[in-house]
Structure 1
Amino acid sequence: MPPSKYTFLDFAQEILKSAPKPMTFQEIWEFGKTSGLDSKLSITGKTPWQTLGARLFVDIRDNPETVFIKVGRNPARFFLLSRKDEVNPDDINYASRATKATEGKKESSFGFHERKLHPVLAYFAYTNTSFNRGKQVYTKTIYHEKSKHNSLSEWVHPDMVGFYSPIDDWNGKLLEFNKATDKTAIRLYSFELKKEIDRSNYRENFFQAVSNSSWANEGYLVAYSIQQDDDLLSELERLSASFGIGVIILDLDDIDSSQVIFPARPKDYLDWETMNKLCEQNRG
């Protein structure tokens, strides 16, 4: 029998066994790189530290048998469950949903309406500095059922849109100067929300996000659950790097633990024709 594949979770576990304190995923990666443990990994993506963070976050949240715990937030640090007595118990964020995963998975493909995720994303976009870089992003739901539909409007409407305006952050004279240039300081965001991403639907969901976000500065695929599957996460990372669409995972039990697992690639231009089409189809 061939030896089992050395995974990012194996990598993190090996480092945290001897780490003097909890570490961020970036610190885990840098320590492993310095010690040469990264050579044991089969790395295909360009941002392995992001892959490591995604693996840890999803494992803690969705795996009832995870060996990891999350300590604190902003930034979250990781440690081993077997070493939990070495940290302040008030700082530990246990696997909020993993402990209830068995019951949760029994719900018929997650028994809630997808729009339950919308206020969670709105809060995340406004408050999470790892996403908004300290600039509050305001969001709005697009009600597809109220839109004008035709055969050419499929995969045009995002579920939510967001924007950031520097009006509260910039000097008034600078705002006036910006108006005189052909560069807008407003940043626009597109979000495609799904309850679950798994092997059966990830491509359709991802390319729906690609299609629906072509007009925006940044586009994201947002999910409540991503299947525990290293190959699936690797493929999402590859698609994210290729097409520039970010991936966000939301936590309904601990909203502040929601996380960008793969960042979007920002664009400096806006597709005004597509935005006009969206406005025309969503008047009123």
Structure 2
Amino acid sequence: MKQADIDIVVEVLKIIGEPINPNHIYAKAQELHQHGEIKHMFQWDGKTPWATCNSAIVTALKKNPDKLPFVKVQAKPALIALKGQDFPPPKPTSKEQPPKDLICKERDLHPRLSYIAYHQWGLYTKTIYHEESKKTKKGIDKWIYPDMVGVFFAYKDFKSPNVHSFIKKFDTLPIKLVSFELKKELTLINCREAYFQAISNSSWAHEGYLVAGTLDRNNKDLMELLKQLNQSFGIGVITLDIKSIGQSAILFNSKEEDNLDYQTLAKLAQRNENFDKFLKSVADFEIDNPERYEKEFDSILKDLPSLN
């Protein structure tokens, strides 16, 4: 590990004054550097510089622990601190119930989004399994597939059968198609890439959302960036709050498009069977017999336990 990088780690540890997971060092250093609290920043390239930073720290601790000014003070989860630094002892981690937000996978968010989308917004959702798409040249389909899609049948709340008949005869059925891009965690580091990924794979829909399992609403820089992106490009932002479902919310609303991109719809349907079946389910849906189609969408859990 370069001395310049070691010096940055030391600066971060001095300022925060408590142990920290080495996987969080890069993000904390970036935050402090942006606020002018440290002069220098890591110079690693690539798409995952935070992972490179973590790997460098872990490797250095294994090879030359005696020569480093910091030391590992806890194994699981890993925590490092300055040698001789006075800090409260780390809180013990329960072996029976490890912090689930650290082990939650992106796909684990899907049933939670389905639950909230249905109960709060009246949406039927369906997971789009990218791995089941037809194989194409590497990179040609990058950012084309949404993680989940949803449909809102606006006319399902119209009780009168005469209204249903009138709509079918004189108008197109009022529905809304929604695209979701899910991320386990949204930070300043991955925010822009995740947002533009959501833009790319939602061009076909009426509305598009970037969904975060974890998002620090107290991070002013992150919230300001999301606000600017939302105002410029219209993709909405939802926080699922995997620790407490009740705290989930739409932070920024999506800009609704009047027309669908049928060319992209056709491409997605041709390349991914999940998406093709979703369109068929929407087209065949009967408002008077919704339970007939429940199995064609993602199942809605009766109760969704908190991850506390």
SS at match of 2:242: coil
SS at match of 1:252: coil
CA shift at 1:256, angstroms? Answer: 2.1
SS at match of 1:235: helix
Whether 1:157 and 2:145 are equivalent positions in the alignment is yes
Q: TM-score, with normalisation over the residues of structure 2?
A: 0.52
Written as runs of structure 1 = structure 2, the 5 A alignment for 1:36-75 is none
Which residue number corresponds to residue 236 of structure 1? 226
Moved more, 169-178 or 207-216: 169-178
| Paired letter, 2:118 | Y
CA shift at 1:178, angstroms? Answer: 2.9
| Paired letter, 2:117 | A
Question: Aligned residue pairs: how many?
Answer: 177
CA contact (8 A) 1:250 1:258 kept: yes
CA contact (8 A) 1:124 1:256 kept: no
Written as runs of structure 1 = structure 2, the 5 A alignment for 1:1-20 is none
1:208-234 deviation digits (Å, cap 9, x = unpaired) = 000111111110000011245211210
Percent of aligned pairs with the same amino acid: 45
Please point out which of 113, 119, 128 is paired with 1:142: 128
Structure 1 residues 107 and 149 mapped into 2: Cα distance closer, same or farther (>3 Å)?
farther
Which residue number corresponds to residue 34 of structure 1? none
SS at match of 1:223: strand
The 2-side partners of 1:102 and 1:259 are apart by: 31
Which residue number corresponds to residue 110 of structure 1? 102
Written as runs of structure 1 = structure 2, the 5 A alignment for 1:75-86 is none
CA contact (8 A) 1:147 1:282 kept: yes
Whether 1:266 and 2:266 are equivalent positions in the alignment is no
Whether 1:126 and 2:101 are equivalent positions in the alignment is no
CA shift at 1:167, angstroms? Answer: 4.8
| Paired letter, 1:278 | L
Q: TM-score, with normalisation over the residues of structure 1?
A: 0.57
The 1-side partners of 2:129 and 2:114 are apart by: 15
SS at match of 2:141: coil
CA shift at 1:201, angstroms? Answer: 1.0
The 2-side partners of 1:273 and 1:175 are apart by: 29
SS at match of 2:116: helix
| Paired letter, 1:146 | E
1:137-176 deviation digits (Å, cap 9, x = unpaired) = 1101001111113242211110000001145322333333
| Paired letter, 1:137 | L
Structure 1 residues 279 and 252 mapped into 2: Cα distance closer, same or farther (>3 Å)?
same
CA shift at 1:255, angstroms? Answer: 1.1
Task: Mark the runs of 5 or more structure 2 residues left unpaired by the alignment.
Answer: 1-90, 275-308
SS at match of 1:240: helix
Please point out which of 198, 206, 223 is paired with 2:187: 198
CA contact (8 A) 2:230 2:236 kept: yes
Which residue number corresponds to residue 268 of structure 2? 278
- CA-atom RMSD, angstroms? 2.6
CA shift at 1:204, angstroms? Answer: 0.6
CA contact (8 A) 2:155 2:164 kept: yes
CA shift at 1:124, angstroms? Answer: 0.9
Structure whose alpha-carbon radius of gyration is higher: 2
CA contact (8 A) 2:186 2:212 kept: yes
The 2-side partners of 1:282 and 1:102 are apart by: 46
| Paired letter, 2:231 | A
Which residue number corresponds to residue 217 of structure 1? 206
The 2-side partners of 1:102 and 1:176 are apart by: 63
